Amino acid sequence: MNPTTAGDVVSVANLSKRFGQVTAVDDVSFTVRENTIYGLLGRNGAGKTTLMQLLTGQDFATSGTIDVFGASPVENAAVLRNICFIKESQKYPDEFRAKHVFRSAPWFFKNWDAAFAEQLIEEFGVPLNRAMKKLSRGQLSAVGVIVGLASRAPLTFFDEPYLGLDAVARQIFYDRLLSDYAEHPRTVILSTHLIDEVSNLLEHVLVIDHGRIIIDEEADTLRGSATTVAGTRAAVERFTAGRELLHSESIGGLASVTIQGQLNAFERADAAESGLELLPVSLQQLIVRTTNTSAHEFQASA
Ligand SMILES: Nc1ncnc2c1ncn2[C@@H]1O[C@H](COP(=O)(O)OP(=O)(O)OP(=O)(O)O)[C@@H](O)[C@H]1O
């Protein structure tokens, strides 16, 4: 079992979930700190939604243990009242209009801030009197995002909450999340494919690949953990020889290679003398490259 230390809100040990032949979550162990924004990232079918369903007590594990606020979340009202789970395919009662969602939210969330919700309703332009089933895809996502933000639940999950949201609305979401989080710290676990957009929000990154957690790292550490070296093929090959390569591509006599690990001042000077360009690697590039290639090796060195 993963040791639960003070300040952890979630502790997962050897957790697996199988659906027949499919192992959606494969023997994962990790902890989640309180008052931190996590990114749960991974390719389609990697296991993100399944993991969130398990952490929010909406599904049963095949094996392993889940501890949320000190207990199993399954059918545990005391735990669930501290959790808000915003998912892409939220179901509402047939007769529900948007206003009914916001009116009923305070029954479920003790920290519900009605004034904040009203501000967000205005900013996202949600038509309160329209039936939920008649809302556009983006308006439906906006309702979820507003509930997720205004609930101020100590543990909030957003599972790809932006479907249909335009760029302006997504930016409002990110901005309000960050400013409200600064005033009301809580734990947020955000699953998204738009890594570049949320990169600055994330404090900790969990990357899941084929059901396994392959990266569990502070976002700042990850950001500085790889460099792309570009220049003539011969110079790039000499400079990167013996290093762990995350990615390489070449056209004619030019090459660009992404290497794992930080460069020291001597190496940087050497690169400059060799006419090589050193480029930072974004979180998105890093994750695309590690989930494309030898992710398991990467974790070992990270
Ligand atoms: N009820 C189910 N029955 C069978 N297989 C399932 C079930 N739910 C999920 N899976 C499979 O488990 C794997 C993980 O699915 P999951 O929805 O957790 O992925 P995801 O990372 O959320 O993907 P996406 O980014 O596409 O939403 C996939 O291979 C999926 O097909």
Nearest to 248 by CA among 266, 231, 228, 268: 228
Measure the CA–CA gap between 46 and 25, rounded to whole angstroms. Answer: 8
**pLDDT category of residue 293 using cuts at 50, 70 and 90:** low
Whether the pLDDT of residue 3 is over 70: the answer is no
Judgement on whether residues 141 and 274 belong to the same structural domain of the protein? no
260 CA from centroid of ligand 1 (Å): 30
Does residue 83 sit within a domain? yes
Measure the CA–CA gap between 285 and 274, rounded to whole angstroms. Answer: 25
174 CA from centroid of ligand 1 (Å): 26
39 lines ligand 1 (CB under 6 A): no
24 lines ligand 1 (CB under 6 A): yes
Judgement on whether residues 190 and 210 belong to the same structural domain of the protein? yes
The reported pLDDT for the residue numbered 187 is 97
Whether the pLDDT of residue 17 is over 90: the answer is yes
- Ligand 1 pocket test, candidate residues 49, 85, 209, 291, most atoms within 8 A of CB: 49
For atom 26 of ligand 1, the residue with the nearest CA is 44
Does residue 298 sit within a domain? no
127 CA from centroid of ligand 1 (Å): 32
For atom 7 of ligand 1, the residue with the nearest CA is 19
Those residues with Cβ within 8 angstroms of residue 118's Cβ, 6 or more apart along the chain or in another chain: none
Structural domain boundaries enclosing 237: 226-280
Judgement on whether residues 95 and 211 belong to the same structural domain of the protein? yes
CATH of the domain at 140: 3.40.50.300
Measure the CA–CA gap between 72 and 186, rounded to whole angstroms. Answer: 20
Judgement on whether residues 111 and 254 belong to the same structural domain of the protein? no
Judgement on whether residues 114 and 174 belong to the same structural domain of the protein? yes
Give the percent of the chain with pLDDT over 70.
Answer: 95
Judgement on whether residues 211 and 233 belong to the same structural domain of the protein? no
Among the candidates 150, 185, 219, a domain finishes at 219
Q: Which atom of ligand 1 is nearest to the CA of 208?
A: 21
44 lines ligand 1 (CB under 6 A): yes
45 lines ligand 1 (CB under 6 A): yes
Judgement on whether residues 29 and 173 belong to the same structural domain of the protein? yes
Does residue 300 sit within a domain? no
For 75-125, give the DSSP string.
T-HHHHTTEEEE-TT----TT-BHHHHHHHHHHH-TT--HHHHHHHHHHHT
- In whole angstroms, what separates CA 26 from the centre of its chain? 18
Judgement on whether residues 135 and 203 belong to the same structural domain of the protein? yes
The reported pLDDT for the residue numbered 6 is 64
Those residues with Cβ within 8 angstroms of residue 251's Cβ, 6 or more apart along the chain or in another chain: none
Judgement on whether residues 215 and 241 belong to the same structural domain of the protein? no
Nearest to 302 by CA among 256, 262, 255: 262
In Å, the largest CA–CA distance within the chain is: 70
Whether the pLDDT of residue 155 is over 50: the answer is yes
Those residues with Cβ within 8 angstroms of residue 54's Cβ, 6 or more apart along the chain or in another chain: 15, 17, 25, 60, 61, 66
Whether the pLDDT of residue 297 is over 60: the answer is no
What are the pLDDT digits (tens) for 180-195? 999 999 999 999 988 9
Q: Are 239 and 270 in contact (CB under 8 A)?
A: yes
Does residue 286 sit within a domain? no
Among the candidates 203, 219, 235, a domain finishes at 219
Judgement on whether residues 256 and 118 belong to the same structural domain of the protein? no
Does residue 208 sit within a domain? yes
Q: Which atom of ligand 1 is nearest to the CA of 160?
A: 27
The reported pLDDT for the residue numbered 5 is 60
Q: Are 258 and 246 in contact (CB under 8 A)?
A: yes
Q: Directed axis angle between helix 98-108 and helix 114-124, to 10°?
A: 150
Q: What are phi and psi of 24, to 5 degrees?
A: -80, -35
Mean pLDDT, rounded, of the chain: 91
For atom 18 of ligand 1, the residue with the nearest CA is 47
Q: Which residue carries 């409002």 as its tokens?
A: 172
Helix, strand, or coil here: 144? helix
Does residue 289 sit within a domain? no
The reported pLDDT for the residue numbered 130 is 94
Q: How many CB atoms lie within 10 A of CB 280?
A: 11
Measure the CA–CA gap between 132 and 109, rounded to whole angstroms. Answer: 20
46 lines ligand 1 (CB under 6 A): yes
For atom 28 of ligand 1, the residue with the nearest CA is 45
Judgement on whether residues 80 and 100 belong to the same structural domain of the protein? yes
- Ligand 1 pocket test, candidate residues 19, 55, 207, 288, most atoms within 8 A of CB: 19
Measure the CA–CA gap between 9 and 69, rounded to whole angstroms. Answer: 5
Does residue 58 sit within a domain? yes
- Ligand 1 pocket test, candidate residues 40, 48, 87, 159, most atoms within 8 A of CB: 48
For the chain, how many structural domains are there in total?
Answer: 2
Whether the pLDDT of residue 296 is over 70: the answer is no
Q: How many CB atoms lie within 10 A of CB 94?
A: 8
Judgement on whether residues 273 and 153 belong to the same structural domain of the protein? no
- Residues 221-255 as b/e (b if ≥16 CB within 10 A, e otherwise) read ebbebbbbbbbbeebbeebbeeeeebbbeeeeeeb
7 lines ligand 1 (CB under 6 A): no
42 lines ligand 1 (CB under 6 A): yes
Does residue 302 sit within a domain? no
What are the pLDDT digits (tens) for 67-123? 999 999 999 999 999 999 999 878 888 889 999 999 999 999 999 999 999 999 999
Among the candidates 219, 234, 264, a domain finishes at 219
259 CA from centroid of ligand 1 (Å): 31
Q: Alpha helix locations (H) across the chain?
A: 48-55, 77-80, 98-108, 114-124, 137-150, 167-183, 195-198, 219-223, 233-240, 265-273, 283-292, 295-301
